Structure 1
Amino acid sequence: MRRVIAAALLLAATAGCSTAPAEPASESTADPDQIAWGPCTDIKRPDGETPARQDASVRCGKLAVPLDYAKPDGEKLDLALIKLPATGKQKRLGSVVFNFGGPGASGVDTLDQAAKALTTLRARYDLISFDPRGVERSSGVKCGDAAEMDRFTSLDTLPAGDETDQEVEAANKRFASLCQQNSGEILPHVGTANASRDMDRIRAAVGDAKLNYVGMSYGTQLGGVYATQFPKKVGRMVLDAPLDPTVTFEQRTLAQTRGFQKAYESFLRSCVKETCDFGKDQATANANVGKLMNQLTEKPLQVNGRELTQGLASTGVAAALYSELTWPFLEQALSEALKGNGEALMYLADSYTGRGPDGTYSTQMTSFPAITCVDTAERPDEAALRRTEAAAMKISPLFGSEGSGGLCRVWPAKGNDEARHVNATGSAPIMVVGGKGDPATPYEWAPKLTAQLKTATLVTYEGEGHGAYLSGSKCIQGLVDAYLLEGKMPGKNASCPAA
Structure 2
Amino acid sequence: MPKPRPVRLALPLALALTTALATGCSGSDDGDGDLSAQKLTWKDCPAPSAAQGGGEAPSPLPAGAKWQCATMKAPLDWDDPEGETIGIELIRAEASEKKNRIGSLLFNFGGPGGSGITALPAFGEDYAKLRTRYDLVSFDPRGVGRSKPVTCEDDVQLDAYYQQDATPDDAAEEQTLLENVKSFNEGCDERSGEVLPHVATTDAARDMDLMRQVLGDDKLHYFGISYGTELGGVYAHLFPDKVGRAVFDAVVDPTQSPEQGSLGQAGGFQLALENYAKDCTSKVEDCPVGDTPEDVQERIAKFLKDLDGKPLPGLGQRKLTQTAATSGIAQSLYSKDFWEYLTEGLENAYDGDGRILMALSDSMNGRNLDGTYSNIQSANVAINCADDKARYTVEDVKAKLPEFRKTSPLFGDYLAWGMLGCSDWAVEGAADHPDVSAKGSAPILVIGNTGDPATPYEGARKMVESLGEGVGIELTYKGEGHGAYDSKNKCVRDAVDGYLLDGKEPKPRTVCS
| TM-score (ref. length: structure 1) | 0.92
Q: What corresponds to 2:266 in structure 1?
A: 257
Aligned partner letter, 1:467: G
> Which string of whole-angstrom CA distances, capped at 9 and with x for unpartnered residues, describes residues 22-57 of structure 1?
xxxxxx964575311101012389683444332353
Q: Secondary structure at the match of 2:416?
A: coil
User: What pairs up with 1:294-309 in 2 under 5 angstroms?
Assistant: 294-303=305-314, 304-309=316-321
Give yes or no for the alignment of 1:469 onto 2:485.
yes
1 or 2 for the larger relative contact order (CA 8 Å, sep ≥6)? Answer: 1
The alignment yields a C-alpha RMSD, in angstroms, of 1.9
Using the alignment, how far apart are the partners of 1:56 and 1:91 within structure 2?
A: 17
Q: Secondary structure at the match of 2:72?
A: strand
Using the alignment, how far apart are the partners of 1:369 and 1:81 within structure 2?
A: 22
Using the alignment, how far apart are the partners of 1:323 and 1:250 within structure 2?
A: 24
Report if the CA contact (8 A) 1:225-1:419 is conserved.
no
Q: What corresponds to 1:149 in structure 2?
A: 158
Alignment equivalent of 1:293, drawn from 273, 281, 304: 304
- Cα distance change, pair 89–73 in 1 and its aligned pair in 2 (3 A): closer
Give yes or no for the alignment of 1:36 onto 2:63.
no
Give yes or no for the alignment of 1:447 onto 2:461.
yes
Give yes or no for the alignment of 1:488 onto 2:504.
yes
Q: Secondary structure at the match of 2:97?
A: coil
> Which string of whole-angstrom CA distances, capped at 9 and with x for unpartnered residues, describes residues 369-394 of structure 1?
10001102222344322223332123
Q: What corresponds to 1:194 in structure 2?
A: 203
Using the alignment, how far apart are the partners of 1:47 and 1:76 within structure 2?
A: 26
Aligned partner letter, 2:296: A
Give yes or no for the alignment of 1:174 onto 2:188.
no
- Cα distance change, pair 234–344 in 1 and its aligned pair in 2 (3 A): same
* 1:414 shift after superposition: 1.2
- Cα distance change, pair 451–459 in 1 and its aligned pair in 2 (3 A): same
Q: What corresponds to 2:122 in structure 1?
A: 113
Using the alignment, how far apart are the partners of 1:217 and 1:94 within structure 2?
A: 23
Give yes or no for the alignment of 1:376 onto 2:388.
yes
Using the alignment, how far apart are the partners of 2:282 and 2:54 within structure 1?
A: 32
* 1:88 shift after superposition: 2.6
Q: Secondary structure at the match of 2:128?
A: helix
Report if the CA contact (8 A) 1:253-1:388 is conserved.
no
Q: What corresponds to 2:221 in structure 1?
A: 212
* 1:395 shift after superposition: 2.3
Q: What corresponds to 1:133 in structure 2?
A: 142
Q: What are the ranges of 5 or more consecutive residues in structure 1 without an aligned counterpart?
A: 12-27
Q: What corresponds to 2:131 in structure 1?
A: 122
Q: What corresponds to 2:445 in structure 1?
A: 431
* 1:234 shift after superposition: 0.3
Q: State which drifts further: 351-360 or 272-281.
A: 272-281
Q: What corresponds to 1:52 in structure 2?
A: 59
> Which string of whole-angstrom CA distances, capped at 9 and with x for unpartnered residues, describes residues 430-451 of structure 1?
1100111111111111111111
Q: What corresponds to 2:11 in structure 1?
A: none
* 1:485 shift after superposition: 0.2
Using the alignment, how far apart are the partners of 1:202 and 1:96 within structure 2?
A: 11
Using the alignment, how far apart are the partners of 1:139 and 1:410 within structure 2?
A: 22
Report if the CA contact (8 A) 1:96-1:212 is conserved.
yes
- Cα distance change, pair 29–456 in 1 and its aligned pair in 2 (3 A): farther
Give yes or no for the alignment of 1:333 onto 2:323.
no
* 1:417 shift after superposition: 2.0
* 1:159 shift after superposition: 5.5
Q: What corresponds to 1:20 in structure 2?
A: none
Using the alignment, how far apart are the partners of 1:382 and 1:225 within structure 2?
A: 31
Q: Secondary structure at the match of 2:504?
A: coil
Q: What corresponds to 1:241 in structure 2?
A: 250
Using the alignment, how far apart are the partners of 2:76 and 2:254 within structure 1?
A: 24
Using the alignment, how far apart are the partners of 1:249 and 1:409 within structure 2?
A: 13
* 1:152 shift after superposition: 1.1
> Which string of whole-angstrom CA distances, capped at 9 and with x for unpartnered residues, describes residues 421-479 of structure 1?
11110011111001111111111111111111011111011101111111221211110
Q: What corresponds to 1:23 in structure 2?
A: none
Report if the CA contact (8 A) 2:390-2:432 is conserved.
no
Q: What is the identity percentage for the equivalent residue pairs of Structure 1 and Structure 2? A: 41
Using the alignment, how far apart are the partners of 2:436 and 2:407 within structure 1?
A: 30
Q: Secondary structure at the match of 2:100?
A: coil
> Which string of whole-angstrom CA distances, capped at 9 and with x for unpartnered residues, describes residues 44-87 of structure 1?
89683444332353100100000001111111010000001111
Q: What are the ranges of 5 or more consecutive residues in structure 2 without an aligned counterpart?
A: 9-32
Q: How many residues align?
A: 478
User: What pairs up with 1:255-404 in 2 under 5 angstroms?
Assistant: 255-274=264-283, 275-303=286-314, 304-400=316-412, 401-402=415-416, 404=418
Q: What corresponds to 1:421 in structure 2?
A: 435
Q: Secondary structure at the match of 1:165?
A: helix
- Cα distance change, pair 173–185 in 1 and its aligned pair in 2 (3 A): same
Report if the CA contact (8 A) 2:145-2:375 is conserved.
yes
Q: What corresponds to 1:8 in structure 2?
A: 5
Q: State which drifts further: 416-425 or 144-153.
A: 416-425
Q: What corresponds to 1:478 in structure 2?
A: 494
Report if the CA contact (8 A) 1:249-1:404 is conserved.
no
- Cα distance change, pair 46–33 in 1 and its aligned pair in 2 (3 A): closer
Alignment equivalent of 1:76, drawn from 82, 85, 94: 85
After superposing on structure 2, the runs of 4+ consecutive aligned residues of structure 1 that deviate more than 4 Å are: 28-33, 44-47
Q: What corresponds to 2:30 in structure 1?
A: none
> Which string of whole-angstrom CA distances, capped at 9 and with x for unpartnered residues, describes residues 148-196 of structure 1?
1111111224464433322221111010000001000000100000000
* 1:409 shift after superposition: 2.8
Q: Secondary structure at the match of 2:212?
A: helix
Report if the CA contact (8 A) 1:60-1:80 is conserved.
yes
Aligned partner letter, 2:48: I
Using the alignment, how far apart are the partners of 2:262 and 2:391 within structure 1?
A: 14
Q: Secondary structure at the match of 2:348?
A: helix
Q: State which drifts further: 133-142 or 163-172.
A: 163-172
| TM-score (ref. length: structure 2) | 0.90
Report if the CA contact (8 A) 1:302-1:342 is conserved.
yes
Using the alignment, how far apart are the partners of 2:423 and 2:153 within structure 1?
A: 19
